[in-house]
Amino acid sequence: MTLIKKSLIYIFISCLLLISHGCSTLEGNKISSEYKPVRGQFGKDVMWIATTQELVDKMLDMAKVSDKDVLYDLGSGDGIVPITAAKRFNAQSVGIEFNPKLADYARAKVIQENVKNKVTIITGDIFKEDFSNATVVFMYLLPELNLELRPKLLNMKPGTRIVSHYFDMSDWYPDQIIKTSNDAAYLWVIPAKIAGKWEFLNLETKKSSVIEVDQIFQKIGGTITMDGVAQPLLSPQLSADQLSFLYQVSSLGLVGVTLKIKDNQMQGVQRFLEQEVSVEARRLK
């Protein structure tokens, strides 16, 4: 066979492959454009019920989403949450959807809404995909699925916001709730894990004491022991990586403490009689 004939055959086969690929792409576009999700259709673990635009807006506002956030929507359905987050707040957003047709439908909407540079729709399983870099996580799942995800959520970076449409997380009480006439949404802020014993040090006097903290999710209590005398922490509050409390000093009255937590260290200030002193704490156990 001559070189010219071989070249012509190669070109012919290449054209056939290109035509075939083009047809399959067109067919895929046709499927995504013709497919319409139906309210109540069954999926892997839940049935699909669209969240209203009004509630999506309220939930995003409740989570204080901004352009600095990375938002993940677990079971993203038609993509309304990540699309709205991108359009309203310019937030980088990812939807994870198990149903391939519904995921394709959401991708088509992403293109239609002109947010392709901000929104990614993944066809995948929410229990297998990695969303550890999220700063905001949205869910519209069943209670048992929320509880199955709860340990993973609690291990996320302190300050990560979790929003659930309609279903709560049992004994992990939300930080905020919004309700409409027939709907509800819940917000949790992931707290730092601070249960245990800490050495508390006044950096000016170098005097140390011991703080013991009990913790159930974001609810905390405990004691501070100074000169061998223990007293309860007063008005203790834990929000994300911020801890605050009061304690009593006989000669000074109430002393207020505010600390920022990072791993096994805390740094901050204590205030009393219009004075401010730097303090720190380190985990003992």
Share of the chain above pLDDT 70, in %: 85
pLDDT tens profile 41-62: 656 666 668 899 999 999 999 9
Domain ranges of the chain: 41-189, 196-283
**Torsional class of 74: left (φ above 0), alpha (ψ -120 to 50), beta (otherwise):** beta
pLDDT class for 143, splitting at 50, 70, 90? very high
The pLDDT value given to residue 17: 37
Q: What is the spatial distance between Cα 157 and Cα 146, in angstroms, rounded to a whole number? A: 18
Decide yes or no: CATH 1.10.10.10 for domain 41-189.
Answer: no
**How many Cβ atoms are within 10 Å of 108's Cβ, its own excluded?**
18
Q: Say yes or no to pLDDT of 240 above 70.
A: yes
Q: Do the beta carbons of residue 78 and residue 52 sit within 8 Å?
A: no
pLDDT class for 101, splitting at 50, 70, 90? very high
Decide yes or no: CATH 3.90.550.10 for domain 196-283.
Answer: no
The pLDDT value given to residue 42: 57
Dihedrals phi, psi of 104, to nearest 5 degrees: -65, -40
Q: Cα 152 to chain center, whole Å?
A: 11
The pLDDT value given to residue 23: 39
**Torsional class of 227: left (φ above 0), alpha (ψ -120 to 50), beta (otherwise):** left
Q: What is the spatial distance between Cα 150 and Cα 45, in angstroms, rounded to a whole number? A: 16
Q: Say yes or no to pLDDT of 81 above 90.
A: yes
Q: Say yes or no to pLDDT of 169 above 80.
A: yes
Angle between helices 80-89 and 53-62 (to 10 degrees): 60
Q: What value does the mean pLDDT take over residues 133-142?
A: 97
- pTM of the entire predicted model: 0.85
Q: Say yes or no to pLDDT of 22 above 50.
A: no
pLDDT class for 24, splitting at 50, 70, 90? very low
pLDDT class for 14, splitting at 50, 70, 90? very low
Alpha helix positions (H), 143-223: 143-154
**Mean pLDDT score across all residues of the chain:** 88
